[in-house]
Structure 1
Amino acid sequence: MPIAFAVASLPIGAAIAQDSDNPPSREMSTEPAIIVTGSALENTLSKPVYAMRSLDQAALTKTPSGRIEDALASVAGFQQFRRSDSRSSNPSAQGATLRALGGNATSRALVLLDGVPMADPFFGYIPFSAIAPERLSSAQVTRGGGAGPFGAGALAGTIELSSASADELGPFGAQVYANDRGGTESGAHLAGNLGAGFAILSGRWDRGPGFYTTPVADRVDASARAAYDSWSLQARGVAPLAPNIELQARGLIYDDRRTLRFDGADSSSTGQDASLRLIARGDWQVDALAYVQARNFTNVVVSSTRFVPVLDQRSTPSTGLGGKIEIRPPLGERHILRAGADFRRSEGDLSEVALSAFTGAVRERRSAGGTNTDLGLFVEQDFLAGPLTLTAGARLDRFTIRDGYYEARDPDGGLVERNRFEDRSGWESSFRGGAAYDVGGGLSLRAAAYMGLRLPTLNELYRPFVVFPVTTQANAALRNEQLEGFEAGVDFAPREGVELSVTGFDNRVRDAIANVTLDPVTRQRQNIEAIHARGIEAATRLESGGWRFDGSLSYTDAEAREDGAAFDGNRPAQTPAWAGSASLRYAFSEGALAGVTLRHVGRQFEDDLQSDILPAFTTLGAYAEVPLTRRLSLVLRGENLTDETIVTRNQAGSIDLGVPRTVWFGVKVSGR
């Protein structure tokens, strides 16, 4: 349905844009030219102020794994909750954060696709498997809290993903790859002009038997490979409504199924998203957006001692609704004023069955859920005064946490426990601002301070979960996370092809939500006093001839704070001190290139008490593309070519491993 709507909207928009009975003559018309881009409004003035990093289409697509997570990992400070990508992790653990602000299955970074928040309405995880890099034009990563629209989710920063236009993709394209374990990756797109607009239909399918995440010494008959099978289909259309006004429509459908550790330990993540966006680029600029998301998640937990299902999370349907309106009045080239409002509503319910590990009989039936809303009012002003750029912004958020419940019944339907949690609401204010000064000769100095906000998710509030043998309890009394931070940096670009950047930062998350250990097999989500992260980030980009080098490095001194707690002063769980990436690429001729990527992630801890260590690891990846004809290319990719051992989970010696050496080969067809 979303796809049909997106495509059908194109001829309607084209019909509005012109009079079909009296089409204007190209020679005689005095009407302004209609230009359709499919992109968002630019905001170039404030870019030099904050710690931003942009990834172009090549950086997004020419990676060893072909995954969007791999591309984003080249940005210093980007981190997922687990060290696994979206082929071998539980979907509900795919949180994204920046600046080592504590590992969390919920995203502390705001991830936007064409302006739409991508976080799951119930869990807050990012459906990375549904975001195909080849559909994108660029990614812009802003580290540090706060944003204008949807700023209530930008606690650690913002990752803005932009879809490619028909011109960028070409009229058609396809790729088919296979790896040395029998996995496959395939995708295709069709794009074309419809009147003065365009439409794109694209699909991707990834599947494979996966690899054993369990070490050889710990495998049993029930051990299973991390098999995965995921597909997504997206339709996007852009149509002019008038000169300088365009309507953008996008529909996305995806399905992702995985098996983790044991036979029968299956999970699924599905979604149907649709959005409409109106962009006006005239004197008065407008960005109006509306979206709807329908998501679901299922999961079966298998005992690691008896190897039978002990928990069947049968269904977790959730709905996300939202939108924004942003207006920019005509103030001249040296001023940008952004004012508007945004709204998000997340509603969801969990239905699960606890099973006996001895008989398989139902022990308990449970349900939980609720509704969260956030209405934000925002204003930001950017001002250019010669070499000095100034920016300041403020948000006021009205939030509600309501309709929360948890219920448990015995096998015969008798009530075991029923909780109806008190509704809550309130106002939160946040601010950000900064300055950048162009010294000359390519040297720029910048400084910024900011605040951020994140509401606890429905998952954190109401849903307990089990990663056997540890049970993590929910907590309906969780408070909002609030960030306060500042940073200063130096950017140096003395000539084209040379970019250097260094940023020092100090960020503190008050009332940070963490999984706090109560006993060896029980944890609970709790607000702790703070997570304090101080560090430095560096990035460089060098280009000369056909060579290109991209490097990033981050060091973060992070501490969890809670007076009197056993973890006070410890490094937050799932948080490395050091992380870095270096990529070297050479373009031999048009369309022919080869590159290698070295990536390092430092030691981190599984839990808040630092009892279980996840050792540091360094991986080597490679990508090569060789044209066979004008439209056909041979592609070779290699992940973890040194076969480094990557420990992704360690709970009292129960270990999961990340991707081993994997070699891909395939072909790519391009209509450009």
Structure 2
Amino acid sequence: MFRFRGLLTLLVVLLCAYPGHAQQQPMRVLVQDPTGLPIRGAIIRDPSGSILGSTGKDGVFTLPHSEASLRIEAAGFVTATVNEKQEPALRVTLARRQESVTVTAYRTPLAAMDSPASTRILTQSQLQQGAAPALDGKLRQVPGVELFRRTSSLISNPTSQGISLRGLGSTAASRTLVVSDDVPLNDPFGGWIHWEELPELSIRSAEVVRGGASDLYGSSAIGGVVSLNPVEPTGDSFIVSSSHGGDNTNDDALFGSLVRGAWSGLATGGILGTDGYTLVAPNLRGPIDTPYNDHAENGLVLLQRRIRDNGRIYLRGNGFNEARDNGTPIQKNATRLWRFSSGVDWEDFVLRLYGSSEHYRQTFSAIAPGRASEKLTRFAQDPATELGAQLHWRHAMGEHMLALAGADTHDVRGSDNGLLVSAGGIRLDTTARQRQTGFYGEVLLTPARWTLSGSARIDHFSNFDAAQYKNAVRTAEPATSETVFNPRLGITRRITKDFALNASAFRAFRAPTINELYRQGQINQQITLANPNLRSERATGWETGGVLNLERWNSTVRGSYFWTQVNRPITALTLSVTPTETLLQRANLGQFESRGVSIDFESAPRSWLSLDGGYQYADATVTKFQQQPALVGKWIPQVARNMATTQVRFSNPRLGLLSLQGRLSGRQFDDDRNFYLLHGYFRLDVYASRQFGRHAEFFASAENLFDRAIEVGRTPILTLGTPRLARFGVRLHWN
């Protein structure tokens, strides 16, 4: 009997050791979204469709044994089928369905189909796959997004980096507000955007809201709002990314995060730069023409503590430093910017305290005919500080009603300290202070298939303590003060679960910046004089359209007709033109209008194929100006009537990813009189990547693949956009 039992035991051991009868080990499945956040409640099914279980709050489910394949489902995400690879741990990333959730337009989560506002979201993957290294180039994937000029921020003067939406154009200042975690990023002195300020690995996604939003955000939101949603530390991770390419262009970044109980933090930074190229058209160049270039460093640190289940208290600080050559040996500028923010998110309340300290300096020159020589004319330093605070409250009142109220204040102190070399060394300094305080409220109703919204805001802003010192002799500058009221109404009706109609109407405003009021600017041979008597811009607009969700093809199409009228828009009026110089002055124009249509589409018809893009037609013209009637009917400078973008992405786990990004822009003008025509263009960019193992990814990109000569400015010298430029890089990550 003992011998029989021994033989039986030996037989069982041999069967278990035999590969075909190996004991199955438990397998851990982690389900996450494209940003790396765990998905709670994802359903796990076997090949027959039977439910095996669901993921917990950490996105993990443990299978007792292996299956030939698994089907994973989660609300709001595309269902995925994966083949089990006999691994003890499996990580599955689910793509979001095209009906995404937006937050920025109404400061509360709202399904895109239910939102009256026209919103596009660029995920971290889409931003990463943009061929251009700087953020502004990535945002141009959205149709209608354009800077004041067509150039990349890597090779353009910071004072020309105002962002334009809905065909409203911009000058030095932006008519669109850019925020990160509710903190404004527009330059406190000039209103332009430092596109290299935030480390690229610190941005989780970007929401682009088109249409006036001053009812919630105050000044500068005439064209809309761009919200850069920051990465949150959700675990221990480390990322290294490095790429190099033509024109000695480099983009290097580091990211690290830690989570220890209720405490978490991250640190990230980068170096971004290029030796650039000569912008002046080849047939117009002279001995003084040198490449435009930019070399910048940035860094960000975050420390936060979780409060209960969904609250937090945090402290964030970031720094930015850059130096630029602006195309000649003398014309240079540099920026050093420090920014901090802290806040509390607790139940229904959000509190933000923030500030910044900036030092900007620039040299100016006069260029001789033939561009054979130049002479230093002015050296300026422009220090500025800002402090701000905001508090808003949000509360659900029943199942179908949400109320929101808030207040904010923003104080800026700046000065323009100049040495007029061409006038014998005269010191000309100007100091000024601005303050804006606003109160706002909003009600959101969602009965049945309706979404109704109403919001309003009152702002009081003032420019004061302004004075000019000429060789220490003080002269007071005009002080201004205005109070403005900005409401917004919106309505959406779901005709079916996949089709909705919407409409909205708004008022918005933008206060003039210290730069526009008191500082003389120069780009190439174009000099722009300040105007201390500027008043705020006021905009009235509406739009209507519809959203169609084609679930069978995992596609969404959104169309809108928009109309915006801006009264007293601040523009640069031409005073005189010579062969070597154009002289402009900032002034309140009478009125202009922008009307048109926009169509956006997002589609992922196959697991290996996705397409998105759109088209915008914008008829933006001057409609009223009594002082210069000849300008009525002229196009708004730097606004193309026709603009389209498209991105096609092919992906395969074995072959990698290939993204083709096309951009088409019609003709436009570079001046208020429409004398300087910039012809239309088509540009094709390419991005490709391939994963090697679990921790390494190699990628390559090419901008302007066909090497088109793209006209970007006439100041009055013709300048050209980025030529063909290739980069190659590697990305290493440990999570």
Query: With structure 2 as the length reference, what TM-score do the two structures score?
Result: 0.82
Counting only pairs closer than 5 Å after superposition, residues 605-620 of structure 1 correspond to structure 2 as: 605-620=669-684
What SS does the aligned partner of 2:630 have?
A: coil
Q: Return the alpha-carbon distance in structure 2 between the equivalents of residues 192 and 228 of structure 1.
A: 32
Q: Which moved more, 1:259-268 or 1:239-248?
A: 239-248
Q: What SS class does the counterpart of residue 456 from structure 1 fall into?
A: coil
Q: Which amino acid aligns with 2:226?
A: I
Are the aligned partners of 1:34 and 1:196 in contact in 2 as well (CA < 8 Å)? no
Gap change, CA 1:60 and 1:579, over 3 Å in 2: same
Partner residue in 2 for 1:3: none
1:334 to 397, 400, 418: 400
Distance apart, 1:140 and its partner CA = 1.0
User: 2:176 matched to which residue of 1?
Assistant: 109
Distance 1:348 1:492, change over 3 A: same
| Distance in 2 (alpha carbons) for counterparts of 1:157 and 1:191 | 32
Partners of 1:592 and 1:369 in 2: how far apart?
Answer: 55
Alignment of 1:435-584 (within 5 A): 435-495=491-551, 497-520=554-577, 521-543=582-604, 544-560=606-622, 561-563=624-626, 564-584=628-648
> CA offset at residue 243 of structure 1?
4.1
Q: For 1:313 and 1:150, locate their aligned partners in 2 and report how far apart those are by CA, in whole Å.
A: 35
> SS at 2:367's partner residue?
coil
Runs of 4+ off more than 6 Å: none
Change beyond 3 A, Cα 1:407–1:591 = farther
Q: CA deviation at 1:146?
A: 1.9
Aligned residues of 1:91 and 1:269 also touching (Cα < 8 A): no
Q: Residues 405 and 462 of structure 1 are in contact (CA less than 8 Å); yes or no, is this contact kept in structure 2?
A: no
Query: Are positions 1:669 and 2:726 aligned together?
Result: no
For 1:228-627, list aligned pairs within 5 A. Answer: 228-281=294-347, 285-305=348-368, 307-356=373-422, 362-409=424-471, 419-495=475-551, 497-520=554-577, 521-543=582-604, 544-560=606-622, 561-563=624-626, 564-589=628-653, 592-627=656-691
- Matched residues in 2 for 1:219 and 1:568: separation? 35
Q: In the TM superposition, what whole-angstrom CA distance separates every residue of 1:537-586 from its partner, at most 9, and x where no partner exists?
A: 11101102210101111000011131343211100111111111100001
The 3-state SS of whatever aligns with 1:166 is coil
CA shift at 1:590, angstroms? 7.5
TM-aligned CA deviation for residue 134 of structure 1: 2.7
Confirm or deny: 8 A CA contact 1:150 1:343 kept in the other structure.
no
Whether 2:246 is the aligned partner of 1:180: answer yes
Structure 1 residues 85-94 or 190-199, which shifts more?
Answer: 190-199
Q: Is the 8 A contact 2:214 2:509 kept in 1?
A: no
Partners in 2 of 1:239 and 1:597 — Cα distance? 40
* CA drift at 1:149: 4.1
Give 1:367's aligned amino acid: D
Change (3 A) 1:167 1:66: farther
Q: Secondary structure at the match of 1:303?
A: strand
- Relative to structure 1, the CA distance from residue 590 to residue 198 in structure 2 (aligned partners, 3 Å threshold; closer, same or farther) is farther
CA shift for structure 1 position 441? 4.4
The corresponding residue for 2:262 is 196
| Offset, 1:628 | 2.4
Read off the aligned partner of 1:524 and give its amino acid letter. Q
Distance across 1 between alignment mates of 2:519 and 2:326: 20
SS, match of residue 460 in structure 1: helix
Name the aligned partner's letter for residue 228 of structure 1: D
Query: What fraction of aligned residue pairs are identical, expressed as a percent?
Result: 24
CA distance in 2, matches of 1:337, 1:526: 40
In structure 1, the residue matched to 2:123 is 56
Q: Which amino acid aligns with 1:513?
A: I
Offset at residue 104 of structure 1 (A): 1.5
Query: 2: CA distance between counterparts of 1:179 and 1:559?
Result: 40
Q: Secondary structure at the match of 2:635?
A: coil
**Residues 526, 584 of structure 2: 8 Å contact kept:** yes
What amino acid sits opposite 1:640 in the alignment? N
**Matched letter for residue 111 of structure 1:** V
C-alpha separation in 2, matches of 1:270 and 1:566:
42
Give CA-to-partner distance per residue, 1:352-401, whole Å, 9 cap, x none: 22223xxxx84432212311111000000000010011000010111111
Q: Secondary structure at the match of 1:566?
A: helix
SS across alignment from 2:279: coil
d(CA) in 2 for partners of 1:631, 1:374: 48
Equivalent in 722, 728, 731 of residue 659 of structure 1: 722
Q: CA deviation at 1:419?
A: 3.5
**Equivalence for 1:649:** 713
Instruction: Describe the superposition over 1:70-94 as per-residue Cα deviations: whole angstroms up to 9, x where unpaired.
Output: 2211222212111112210001211
Question: CA separation in 2, counterparts of 1:322 and 1:593?
Answer: 43
Higher mean displacement: 456-465 or 220-229: 220-229
**Helix, strand or coil: the match of 1:493?**
strand
CA distance in 2, matches of 1:272, 1:34: 36
- 1:216 pairs, out of 279, 282, 302, with 282
Asked if the contact 1:446/1:490 (under 8 Å) is kept, the reply is yes
Larger displacement relative to structure 2 (623-632 or 588-597): 588-597
Please state whether the residue corresponding to 1:537 is helix, strand or coil: strand
**2:700 pairs with 1:639:** no
1:137 deviation in Å?
1.1
**Aligned partner letter, 2:419:** V
Secondary structure at the counterpart of residue 168 of structure 2: coil
Q: 1:224 to 1:299 in 2, by over 3 A?
A: same
Q: CA deviation at 1:222?
A: 2.1
After the TM superposition, which of the residue ranges 378-387 and 192-201 deviates more from structure 2? 192-201
8 Å Cα contact 2:163-2:169 kept in structure 1: no
Question: What letter is aligned with 1:609?
Answer: R
- The answer (yes or no) to whether the contact 1:50–1:143 under 8 Å persists in 2 is yes
Partner of 2:90: none
Specify the SS of the correspondent of 2:705: coil
The reply on whether 1:139 has 2:206 as its aligned counterpart is yes
Structure 2 distance, partners of 1:347, 1:175, is 37
Task: Specify the SS of the correspondent of 2:276.
Answer: coil
Could you tell me which runs of 5 or more consecutive residues in structure 1 were left unpaired when the two chains were aligned. 1-32
2: CA distance between counterparts of 1:132 and 1:448?
Answer: 35
Amino acid at match of 1:57: Q
Displacement after TM superposition at 1:67 (Å): 1.8
Maintained 8 Å contact 1:352/1:367: yes
Secondary structure in structure 2 of the residue aligned to 1:120: coil
Shift of residue 503, structure 1, vs aligned partner: 0.6
- Give the Å deviation of 1:309: 4.2
The one-letter amino acid paired with 1:626 is: R
| Alignment map for 1:19-30 (pairs within 5 Å) | none
Moved more, 305-314 or 552-561: 305-314
Q: Distance between the aligned counterparts of 2:476 and 2:441, measured in 1? A: 37
How big is the shift at 1:57? 0.9
Question: 1:249, CA displacement in angstroms?
Answer: 2.0
**8 Å contact kept, 1:212–1:226:** yes
CA RMSD in angstroms comes to: 2.1
User: What is the letter of the counterpart of residue 358 of structure 2?
Assistant: R
Q: Which residue identity does 1:295 align to in structure 2?
A: E
Q: What TM-score does the superposition give when structure 1 sets the normalisation length?
A: 0.89
Letter in 1 for 2:178: V
Q: Report the Cα offset of residue 34 of structure 1.
A: 13
Q: Does 2:137 match 1:76?
A: no
Q: Counterparts of 2:379 and 2:631 in 1: how far apart (Å)?
A: 31
